[in-house]
Amino acid sequence: MTRPAGDADQKLIRAALELIPETGLSGLSVRRVAARAKVNLGMFHYHFKTKQAFSRRVLDQLYETFFTRLAEAVEHASGTSPRDRLRGAVLAAARFAREHRPLILALVRDLLGGNQEVLAFARASFPRHLVLLVRLARDAQRAGQIRKMPIIKLMPLIFVTAVGPVMAEELIGRILPAGFRAIPRHLLGPFISSDRAIEERLDFLLNSLDPAKTRP
């Protein structure tokens, strides 16, 4: 069977990514996705066959975008110190979280709600970036640029510092009345989720973890 011309599959995926912040993956409707993408419903079945297959493709494409950003940040920092490579990767993750935070929060809700597709996706995909980040952290520890401590303690500390406030800003906006939801972003954004704010928090933490600066 000849493959139809065009990029209907990508239009459908983009439409799903636009809708998930509102519906979550659990509430995503195939008909609504097709309508949003302005694509005939028959093209959905041609490209993806089932909603489950489509959902996995959407999640995989989102994750590949994230992992590519992460890998590019590490590559860009090649030739620098292990600490700088770790810093670049964490900054890339924080910026991705900032750009996609409504979508990420929706997927977290699905995960906490027991959505099996999101759970299976997380189990299959997350080890890729976790292994990369753990390797970078251990390289920095071996180089004596970050204090020796268990990785299971170090990594949450780094990510809560860099990414936590970015997501908290989004949550604050969600709980305010509709007419006030843009206020946190305008007032808090420069101090919480701007590039400068993220870098300042991360650098403060990394400096505090520098063995040369933490000796008694």
Query: Over the stretch 5-24, which tens digit does the pLDDT of each residue have?
Result: 468 999 999 999 999 999 99
Q: Who wins on pLDDT, 177 or 60?
A: 60
Residue 96 is predicted with a pLDDT of: 97
The predicted model gives 51-78 an average pLDDT of 94
Give how far Cα 166 sits from Cα of 112, 116, 152, 170, Å: 20, 27, 22, 7
Query: Given phi > 0 = left and psi -120 to 50 = alpha, else beta, which region is 53?
Result: alpha
Instruction: Find, among 153, 151, 143, the residue nearest to 212 by Cα.
Output: 143
Tell me the CB-side half-sphere exposure of residue 202, using CA atoms within 13 A: 28
Does residue 115 register a pLDDT over 90?
yes
Residue 183 is predicted with a pLDDT of: 67
Model confidence at 179, pLDDT cuts 50, 70, 90, reads low
> How many C-beta atoms lie closer than 10 Å to residue 180's C-beta?
10
Does residue 213 register a pLDDT over 90?
no
Q: Which residues contact 199 (CB under 8 A, 6 or more apart)?
A: 91
The predicted model gives 207-212 an average pLDDT of 92
Residue 1 is predicted with a pLDDT of: 41
The predicted model gives 63-77 an average pLDDT of 95
Model confidence at 121, pLDDT cuts 50, 70, 90, reads very high
Residue 169 is predicted with a pLDDT of: 85
pTM of full prediction above 0.85 = yes
Q: Which residues contact 146 (CB under 8 A, 6 or more apart)?
A: 83, 86, 137, 140, 154, 206, 209, 210, 211
Eight-state DSSP code of residue 128: H
Residue 212 is predicted with a pLDDT of: 84
Question: Could you give the angle at the alpha carbon of 133 between the alpha carbons of 132 and 138, nearest 5°?
Answer: 100
Model confidence at 173, pLDDT cuts 50, 70, 90, reads confident
Distance CA 176, CA 164 (A): 19
Residue 2 is predicted with a pLDDT of: 42
- Polymer length in residues for the chain: 216
